[in-house]
């Protein structure tokens, strides 16, 4: 499956799920509007108690929207005049300093061309407490802008931000932001492939194009900002220190995702999820779409930076594959309307089941302990439609989710 300029990566899921449902085996999904797979609505008395998947009919004493704030908004705090989607957190421990997203709005920042999609980055401000207090929006910067402050002449989308957790869980980065664009005026060398992969310092500055042959279908930057994986219609490529190296040849490759040091990446090829090591060696994982890796193994041994778990979607379901052992363990966590997301630790999986933004936590170690977040963690306000794209922060303190009506929210899950 190839990402096209007219259809953002995550928005492709509805069509993919419809097709895949007819052919997938071993993954029987419910429709987005049906009750939870656990057997029906839950009626728990208190928030954040364990007890099954994110339920459509859950009721409780606290409002779904009590801890939500508008993430994509005008400088005066108002609702912007465009649709926002594809949120992506920086993975810098509890800091989570940046959230990138795509929007068609013309009143968040200028200059933009009406009708075009652009990449923006929301910047956190204020104090960051030891256990991650409420996230406060400082400013929203326009990323996809041409030299001299000229509006991009094409669509931009699909952002990836660096950032990782160092020793004693200290935030590292984020320094680099990557995205896709059909614009021809972002750099002096144009956009010869039609759709290109571009990088920029997350705090601002000039944009550079990664010279990977072909039309780009996905891009992912490592947490340490040193490596960028780019998929195109001609193969999978790796950028490092200004040079591009081909890892795979051929079409059908999309949705790369990588770890804190880029030692390994996951990608989709014709409806199958694979991993590939930077130094060579591939592994077939399972059937699925839109894979996202965890932050990678943090040990100092040979497995340092290798993928431990991958979230993906299949036939309308949110899945996770544990990949650290010889035998791959695959589990379905719930219904989803868009690609699920993983936190850096790999234990949390976030997804939008239409009605709610969901957060499921299950450790990937041998204990399989549940985290107690199996209730809704966000909901679109009346008139804003259903929950679609969802992203989760490093320590799952925050969710960012978009609504089919166009709004993008940030949800404070709680301190951790």
- Per the structure, the count of domains in the chain is 1
Q: What is the CATH number of the domain that holds 94?
A: 2.120.10.30
CB 252 within 8 A of CB 236: no
Per-residue pLDDT for 363 more than 50? yes
Instruction: Dump the DSSP string for 292-312.
Output: EE-S---SSSTTTT---EEEE
Q: How confident is the model at residue 318 (pLDDT cuts 50, 70, 90)?
A: very high
Per-residue pLDDT for 258 more than 80? yes
Specify which of 30-39, 123-132, 403-412 reaches the highest per-range mean pLDDT.
Answer: 403-412
Starting at the edge strand found earlier in the chain, the sheet holding 357-361 runs 341-342, 348-352, 357-361
Q: Looking at per-residue confidence, does 21 or 82 come out higher?
A: 82
- The four Cα atoms 140, 144, 145, 151 give a dihedral, to 10 degrees, of -100
Using the Cα atoms of residue 411, residue 222, residue 345 and residue 338 in order, give the sign of their dihedral. Answer: positive
Question: What is the average pLDDT score of the chain?
Answer: 85
Average pLDDT over residues 293-310: 95
1 inside domain: no
Per-residue pLDDT for 119 more than 90? yes
Q: Are strands 98-103 and 207-210 parallel, antiparallel or unpaired?
A: unpaired
246 inside domain: yes
pLDDT tens digits, one per residue of 218-236: 999 999 999 999 999 999 9
Average pLDDT over residues 60-67: 63
5 inside domain: no
Q: How confident is the model at residue 58 (pLDDT cuts 50, 70, 90)?
A: low
Name residues whose C-beta falls within 8 Å of residue 93's C-beta, 6 or more positions apart in sequence. Answer: 164, 165, 166, 169, 170, 171, 172, 394, 395
3 inside domain: no
Average pLDDT over residues 241-263: 98
139 phi, psi to nearest 5 deg: -150, 165
| pTM for this model (two decimals) | 0.87
189 inside domain: yes
Give me 63's structure tokens: 């409002």
Spatial separation of the C-alpha atoms in residues 402 and 17, rounded to whole Å: 19
Burial of 10 (0-12, 13-18, 19+ CB in 10 A): buried
Per-residue pLDDT for 197 more than 70? yes
Q: Per mean pLDDT, which range of 39-48, 152-161, 268-277 is the poorest?
A: 39-48
**From residue 255, how far is each of 72, 167, 214, 274 by CA, in Å?**
24, 29, 15, 11
Average pLDDT over residues 361-390: 86
pLDDT value of position 261: 97
Token pair 């060696």 is at which residue? 281
CB 316 within 8 A of CB 33: no
Average pLDDT over residues 4-20: 38
- The four Cα atoms 370, 373, 374, 378 give a dihedral, to 10 degrees, of -160
Per-residue pLDDT for 132 more than 90? no
pLDDT value of position 240: 98
Spatial separation of the C-alpha atoms in residues 26 and 7, rounded to whole Å: 29
Instruction: Dump the DSSP string for 169-201.
Output: G-EE---EEEEEE--SSSSTT--TTSSEEEEEE
63 inside domain: yes
pLDDT value of position 3: 43
pLDDT value of position 49: 31
Q: Per mean pLDDT, which range of 13-22, 136-145, 250-259 is the poorest?
A: 13-22
4 inside domain: no
pLDDT value of position 62: 58
CB 96 within 8 A of CB 381: no
Spatial CA neighbour of 188 closest among 150, 156, 157: 150
Q: How confident is the model at residue 39 (pLDDT cuts 50, 70, 90)?
A: very low
Average pLDDT over residues 156-161: 98
**From residue 325, how far is each of 259, 264, 369 by CA, in Å?**
17, 15, 18
Give me 347's structure tokens: 């234990």
Q: Per mean pLDDT, which range of 67-76, 115-124, 233-242 is the poorest?
A: 67-76
How does DSSP classify residue 16?
A: H
Per-residue pLDDT for 162 more than 50? yes
Average pLDDT over residues 32-40: 25
Domain limits for position 45: 10-412
Q: Per mean pLDDT, which range of 43-47, 186-190, 336-340, 360-364 is the poorest?
A: 43-47
């Amino acid at each position: 499956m190839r990402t096209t300029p007219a259809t953002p990566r995550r928005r492709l899921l509805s069509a993919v799920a419809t097709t895949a449902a007819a052919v997938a085996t071993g993954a029987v999904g419910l429709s987005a509007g049906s009750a939870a797979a656990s057997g029906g609505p839950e009626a728990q008395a208190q928030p954040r108690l364990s007890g099954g998947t994110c339920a459509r009919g859950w009721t409780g004493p606290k409002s779904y929207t009590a801890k939500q704030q508008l993430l994509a908004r005008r400088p005066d705090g108002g609702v912007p005049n465009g649709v926002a989607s594809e949120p992506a957190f920086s993975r810098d421990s509890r800091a989570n300093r940046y959230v990138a997203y795509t929007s068609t709005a013309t009143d968040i920042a200028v200059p933009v061309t009406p009708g075009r999609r652009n990449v923006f980055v929301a910047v956190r401000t204020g104090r960051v407490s030891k256990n991650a207090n409420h996230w406060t929006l400082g400013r929203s910067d326009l990323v996809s802008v041409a030299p001299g402050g000229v509006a991009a002449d094409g669509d931009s989308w699909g952002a990836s931000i660096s950032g990782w957790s160092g020793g004693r869980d200290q935030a590292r980065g984020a320094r680099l932001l990557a995205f896709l664009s059909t614009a021809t005026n972002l750099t002096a060398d144009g956009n010869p492939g039609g759709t290109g992969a571009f990088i920029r310092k997350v705090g601002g500055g000039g944009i550079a194009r990664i010279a990977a042959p072909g039309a780009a279908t996905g891009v992912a930057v490592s947490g340490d900002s040193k490596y960028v994986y780019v998929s195109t219609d001609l193969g999978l490529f790796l950028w490092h220190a200004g040079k591009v190296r081909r890892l795979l040849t051929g079409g059908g490759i999309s949705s790369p995702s990588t770890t804190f040091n880029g030692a390994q990446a996951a990608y989709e090829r014709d409806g199958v999820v694979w991993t590939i090591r930077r130094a060579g060696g591939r592994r077939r994982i399972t059937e699925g779409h839109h894979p996202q890796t965890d932050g990678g193994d943090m040990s100092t041994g040979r497995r340092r930076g290798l993928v431990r778990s991958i979230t993906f979607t299949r036939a309308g379901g949110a899945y996770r594959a544990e990949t650290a052992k010889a035998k791959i363990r695959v589990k379905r966590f719930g219904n989803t309307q868009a690609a699920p997301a993983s936190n850096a630790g790999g234990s949390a999986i976030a997804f939008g089941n239409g009605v709610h933004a969901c957060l499921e936590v299950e450790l990937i170690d041998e204990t399989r302990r549940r985290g107690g977040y199996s209730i809704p963690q966000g909901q679109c306000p009346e008139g804003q439609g259903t929950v679609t794209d969802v992203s989760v922060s490093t320590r799952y303190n925050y969710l960012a989710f978009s609504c089919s009506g166009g709004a993008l929210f940030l949800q404070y899950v709680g301190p951790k």
